[in-house]
């Protein structure tokens, strides 16, 4: 694992359910993940030489993405700092852990290229965990990171083909350190960087197929296992400060759990709420100081709160459109005001709008623009009806625990395989 903010709770949730089924789980990850790993009963080893963070404070971030406005430059920085550049360091530490723990399966977040290579060297089956939408080029779907709607004709098809080609070219800019690491492990060179990830035994998408755009089938080793809706383990308990007789609509505001320079956007959202007959609850998250925000009288700011408890009571959720918050809201039939700031957020916002379950505005939007969008979401029942329809489809997907059954099946294949 790595400290990806919203990527951590769904992966810890899977680990926790594996432990609940009687399996042993050992986690390699940033030191910030240790408390959560210990809480669910997993073993833990921190990354030491490989890149890692020791807190969620902005000064400790590996990549200060809020300072890099050019998306192509940002991708290159991420590629060299985390995705590809340190492949050998991640591989060496993972291989050491494999030799010590002797696992039946290695389950790696999809950015952990070195961990996947180490598992391949040790001939341990690999499951790629993707706590987002499918991130690799695939025909018939817009490229992740583009925030695009589905193609409707030749112009859209050309757009998607160009974006996919650009993605491959950018990713292959990190091929040299990946192949250097593979050579050190005694593995053959790859033709393309992302072949290391897509060649995993199984790729588990920790998301909802109903939420994604329709399109041609994904590769055979890819499975939608459903959204993981657990709250982060650091979310504190919450008691409503408003009396039960207060019938004003509740608006929940939750932006990124990692720093994206979101304080100013939060302040403008609160300003908009201050002029409306609503109750507002803002969860600042671990990357911001709640006391530094200045709410109007009808808005309460807390460091954290369990969204699973609050979202069902909410009429609207205002969010940066991180995958976790987006899916939690939609799974409860609650429409969204989307203010994406980067990363995968533009893609989640595009799907929310495509389903008619929300409105997208810029994170730099004025308080007046925010208020106008909020009034539309509160007054037009179509958004809530569409969100409810999507929630029903998501609920139909959640029968059984496909993430666990897929991992157990992979482990069983390992145990049943004849010895080499």
User: Do 40 and 154 share a domain, yes or no?
Assistant: yes
Q: What is the CATH number of the domain that holds 38?
A: 3.40.50.2000
How far apart are the C-alpha atoms of 325 and 283, rounded to whole Å?
Answer: 12
User: Do 408 and 391 share a domain, yes or no?
Assistant: no
**Could you tell me the pTM of the whole model?**
0.92
Report yes or no on 231 lying in a domain.
no
| Residues spanned by the domain of 79 | 5-226+398-416
Q: What is the pLDDT of residues 234-289, one digit of tens each?
A: 778 888 899 989 999 999 998 867 767 788 889 999 999 999 999 999 988 777 77
170-203 in b/e form (b: 16+ CB < 10 A) is: ebbebbebbbebbeebebeebeebbebbbebbbb
User: Do 369 and 254 share a domain, yes or no?
Assistant: yes
Q: What is the pLDDT of residue 95?
A: 97
Report yes or no on 309 lying in a domain.
yes
**Sheet harboring 222-224: ordered strands across?**
106-109, 126-130, 202-205, 222-224
- In the block, tokens 């996919």 appear at 164
The mean pLDDT value of the chain amounts to 92
Q: Which long-range contacts (CB under 8 A, 24 or more apart) does 366-369 make?
A: 366/268, 367/268, 367/269, 367/271, 367/272, 367/275, 368/272
- In the block, tokens 């341990």 appear at 124
User: Do 295 and 370 share a domain, yes or no?
Assistant: yes
User: Do 144 and 288 share a domain, yes or no?
Assistant: no
- The pair of structure tokens assigned to 63 is 């990549």
- Which of 31-45, 141-155, 231-245 has the largest mean confidence? 31-45
Q: What is the pLDDT of residue 348?
A: 95
Total domains present in the chain: 2
Report yes or no on 279 lying in a domain.
yes
User: Do 314 and 202 share a domain, yes or no?
Assistant: no
Report yes or no on 234 lying in a domain.
no
The count of C-alpha atoms lying within 13 angstroms of the C-alpha of 300, restricted to the half-sphere facing its C-beta, is 13
User: Do 213 and 100 share a domain, yes or no?
Assistant: yes
Cβ neighbours of residue 345 closer than 8 Å, sequence gap 6 or more: 320, 321, 322, 338
Report yes or no on 236 lying in a domain.
no
Report yes or no on 347 lying in a domain.
yes
User: Do 214 and 258 share a domain, yes or no?
Assistant: no
Q: What is the pLDDT of residue 418?
A: 59
CB 145 within 8 A of CB 346: yes
Report yes or no on 245 lying in a domain.
no
Q: What is the pLDDT of residues 175-193, one digit of tens each?
A: 999 999 999 999 999 999 9
How far apart are the C-alpha atoms of 353 and 347, rounded to whole Å?
Answer: 10
**Cα three-residue angle 179-182-185, rounded to 5 degrees:** 155
Q: What is the pLDDT of residue 417?
A: 65
Q: What is the pLDDT of residue 195?
A: 94
User: Do 276 and 188 share a domain, yes or no?
Assistant: no
How far apart are the C-alpha atoms of 107 and 123, rounded to whole Å?
Answer: 13
Report yes or no on 284 lying in a domain.
yes
User: Do 112 and 65 share a domain, yes or no?
Assistant: yes
User: Do 204 and 336 share a domain, yes or no?
Assistant: no
User: Do 208 and 294 share a domain, yes or no?
Assistant: no
Q: What is the pLDDT of residue 28?
A: 98
């Amino acid at each position: 694992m790595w400290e990806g903010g919203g990527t951590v709770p769904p992966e810890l949730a899977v680990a926790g359910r594996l432990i609940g089924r009687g399996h042993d789980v050992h986690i390699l990850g940033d030191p910030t993940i240790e408390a959560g790993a210990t809480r669910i009963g997993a073993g833990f080893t921190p990354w030491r030489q490989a890149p890692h963070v020791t807190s969620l404070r902005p000064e400790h971030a590996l990549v200060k993405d809020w300072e890099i406005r050019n998306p192509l430059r940002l991708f290159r920085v991420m590629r060299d700092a985390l995705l590809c550049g340190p492949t050998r360091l991640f591989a060496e530490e993972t291989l050491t852990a494999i030799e010590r723990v002797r696992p039946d399966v290695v389950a790696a977040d999809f950015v952990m290229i070195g961990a996947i290579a180490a598992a391949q060297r040790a001939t341990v089956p690999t499951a790629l965990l993707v706590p987002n939408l499918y991130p690799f080029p695939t025909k018939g779907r817009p490229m992740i990171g583009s925030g695009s709607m589905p193609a409707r004709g030749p112009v859209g098809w050309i757009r998607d083909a160009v974006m996919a080609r650009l993605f491959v070219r950018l990713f292959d800019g990190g091929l040299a350190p990946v192949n250097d690491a593979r050579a050190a492990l005694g593995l053959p060179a790859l033709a393309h960087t992302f072949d290391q990830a897509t060649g995993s035994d199984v790729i588990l998408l920790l998301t909802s197929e109903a939420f994604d755009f329709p399109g041609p089938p994904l590769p055979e080793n890819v499975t939608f296992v459903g959204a993981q809706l657990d709250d982060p383990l650091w979310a504190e308990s919450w008691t409503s400060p408003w009396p039960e007789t207060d019938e004003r609509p509740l608006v929940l505001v939750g932006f990124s759990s990692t720093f994206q320079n979101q304080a100013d956007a939060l302040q403008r959202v609160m300003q908009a709420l201050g002029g409306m007959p609503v109750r507002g609850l803002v969860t600042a998250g671990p990357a911001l100081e709640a006391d530094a925000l200045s709410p109007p009288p009808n808005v309460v700011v807390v460091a954290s709160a369990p969204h699973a408890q609050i979202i069902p009571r909410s009429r609207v959720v205002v969010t940066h459109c991180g995958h976790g918050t987006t899916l939690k809201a939609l799974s409860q039939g609650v429409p969204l005001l989307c203010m994406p700031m980067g990363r995968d957020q533009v893609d989640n916002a595009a799907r929310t709008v495509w389903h008619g379950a929300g409105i997208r505005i810029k994170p730099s939007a004025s308080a007046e623009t925010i208020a106008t969008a909020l009034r539309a979401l509160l007054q037009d029942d179509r958004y809530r009806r569409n969100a409810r329809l999507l929630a029903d489809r998501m609920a139909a997907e959640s029968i059984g625990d496909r993430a666990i059954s897929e991992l157990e099946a992979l482990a069983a294949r390992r145990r049943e395989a004849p010895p080499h």
